[in-house]
């Protein structure tokens, strides 16, 4: 349903809220225009080494600067883009913009790791890896600077197709992260078979820390799991000092969250 209830609070398309075909069509055409008229932008959220506090990488997060609605978060338009196939054009734009920014940063002597998100429908595109690699190469960037973030459910939903996709990404020289780990329902056994570099622990687990001891135990267990499998780990959603302290005590290598840094435009990303 298309609703106008004011800046930032608008849900003009609700993926689960019935099928208002007209509202969907409206968003689709506006989103198509958003792509062609340059209304998409990327913000970057820093990821820090817990022990040293050094900036290690940044995650690119897409936003839609809509003339009417203001800054629209991806949760409100990625689902419709997925449904309509526009996600391929958006994904292409994201990777190209990210590479252009990475090249500007490189020219300034700043070379952070850079993560970007891939949603399930994008994984179906047969030339996905080739198109990402081409964008990186066009800017003369090292492919290993880039990490593709795929959610657990996307990766594990179709084991055969996506296992080979992960391998394809890694063979092309990129890194791969499982995003929102723990939020889906994968078996740990399957995880072992996956070729991934990094686990990103879903922020829902850290949310209960430190009050909820079982939440803490789960975060600690996921950190040991990553360690045992030789994977890097990022815990998402660090919002408080006690949470950061908890991660320090449990040897968490990397952390991301509002306490450490919110998503910001490229020129406001901290350099160290
Ligand atoms: P994600 O990849 O798990 O990205 C992290 C989300 O958590 C971001 O929301 C970020 O702003 C938010 N976040 C980070 N730290 C904290 C914290 O401490 N507390 C809380 N409450 N939230 C925190 P955002 O930017 O709204 O993105 C939401 C999701 O949209 C992303 O989740 C990702 O799945 C998707 N997305 C974003 N950009 C893209 C994109 O370019 N392509 C695709 N396919 N999906 C994207
Ligand atoms: Mg992500
Ligand atoms: Mg995430
Ligand atoms: Mg998330």
Picking from 227, 219, 271, 264, the residue whose alpha carbon sits closest to that of residue 245 is 219
Q: What pairs with residue 41 in β-bridges?
A: 63
**What is the β-pairing status of strands 55-66 and 40-49?**
antiparallel
Q: What pairs with residue 102 in β-bridges?
A: none
For position 3, what pLDDT does the model report? 41
Give the ligand whose atoms come closest to the C-alpha of residue 149. Answer: 2
For position 27, what pLDDT does the model report? 84
Q: Which atom of ligand 1 is nearest to the CA of 43?
A: 25
Residues 261-271 as b/e (b if ≥16 CB within 10 A, e otherwise) read: bebeebeebee
Q: Which atom of ligand 1 is nearest to the CA of 116?
A: 41
Q: Is the dihedral of CA 144, 96, 199, 112 positive or negative?
A: positive
Task: Report the residue count for the chain.
Answer: 272
Please answer whether residues 115 and 58 qualify as being in contact, where contact means their C-beta atoms are separated by less than 8 angstroms: yes
Cα 181 to middle of ligand 4, angstroms: 9
Which residues crowd ion ligand 3, with CB under 5 Å?
179-180
pTM score:
0.93
Give the ligand whose atoms come closest to the C-alpha of residue 263. Answer: 1
Interface confidence, given as ipTM, is 0.98
For position 152, what pLDDT does the model report? 80
Q: Which atom of ligand 1 is nearest to the CA of 81?
A: 44
For position 159, what pLDDT does the model report? 58
Residue with tokens 């609605």: 69
pLDDT in tens, the chain (272 residues): 344 444 433 445 555 555 678 877 888 899 999 999 999 999 999 999 999 999 999 999 999 999 989 999 999 999 999 999 999 999 999 999 999 999 999 999 999 999 999 998 898 889 999 999 999 999 999 999 999 999 887 776 665 666 688 999 999 999 999 999 988 777 777 788 788 999 999 999 999 999 999 999 999 999 999 999 999 999 999 999 999 999 999 999 999 999 999 999 999 999 98
Q: Which two tokens stand for residue 229?
A: 């499998």
Distance (Å, whole) CA 202 – CA 189: 19
Instruction: Give the contacts of 134 (CB within 8 A, at least 6 positions apart).
Output: none
Picking from 44, 74, 16, 61, the residue whose alpha carbon sits closest to that of residue 31 is 74
For position 4, what pLDDT does the model report? 42
Cα 236 to middle of ligand 3, angstroms: 7
Give the ligand whose atoms come closest to the C-alpha of residue 74. Answer: 1
Distance (Å, whole) CA 169 – CA 81: 23
Alpha-carbon distance values, 17 to 11, 24, 196 (Å): 10, 11, 34
Which residues form ligand 1's pocket by a CB distance below 6 Å?
Answer: 45, 61-62, 73-75, 78, 94, 116-119, 149, 179-180, 203, 236-239, 256-258, 263
Backbone angles phi, psi at 6, to 5 degrees: 110, 160
């Amino acid at each position: 349903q298309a609703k106008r209830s004011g800046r930032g609070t608008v849900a003009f398309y609700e993926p689960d809220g019935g099928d208002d075909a007209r509202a969907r069509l409206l968003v689709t055409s506006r989103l198509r225009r958003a792509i062609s008229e340059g209304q998409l932008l990327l913000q970057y959220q820093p990821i820090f080494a817990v022990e040293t506090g050094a900036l290690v990488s940044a995650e690119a997060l897409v936003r839609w600067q809509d003339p009417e609605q203001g800054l629209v978060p991806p949760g409100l338009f990625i689902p419709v883009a997925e449904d309509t196939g526009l996600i391929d054009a958006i994904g292409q734009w994201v990777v190209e913009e990210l590479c252009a920014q990475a090249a500007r940063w490189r020219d300034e002597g700043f070379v952070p790791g850079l993560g970007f998100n891939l949603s399930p429908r994008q994984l179906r595109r047969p030339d996905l890896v080739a198109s990402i690699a081409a964008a990186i190469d066009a800017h003369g960037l090292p492919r290993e600077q880039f990490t593709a973030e795929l959610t657990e459910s996307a990766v594990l939903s179709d084991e055969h197709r996506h296992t080979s996709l992960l391998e394809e990404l890694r063979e092309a020289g990129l890194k791969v992260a499982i995003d929102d780990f723990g939020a889906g329902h994968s078996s740990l056994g399957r995880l072992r078979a996956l070729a991934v570099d990094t686990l990103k622990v879903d922020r829902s687990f850290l949310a209960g820390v430190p009050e909820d001891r079982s939440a803490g135990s789960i975060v600690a267990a996921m950190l040991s799991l990553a360690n045992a499998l030789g994977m890097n780990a990022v815990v998402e959603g660090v919002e408080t000092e006690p949470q950061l302290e908890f991660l320090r005590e449990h040897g968490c290598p990397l952390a991301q969250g509002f306490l450490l840094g919110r998503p910001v435009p490229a020129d406001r990303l901290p350099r160290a």
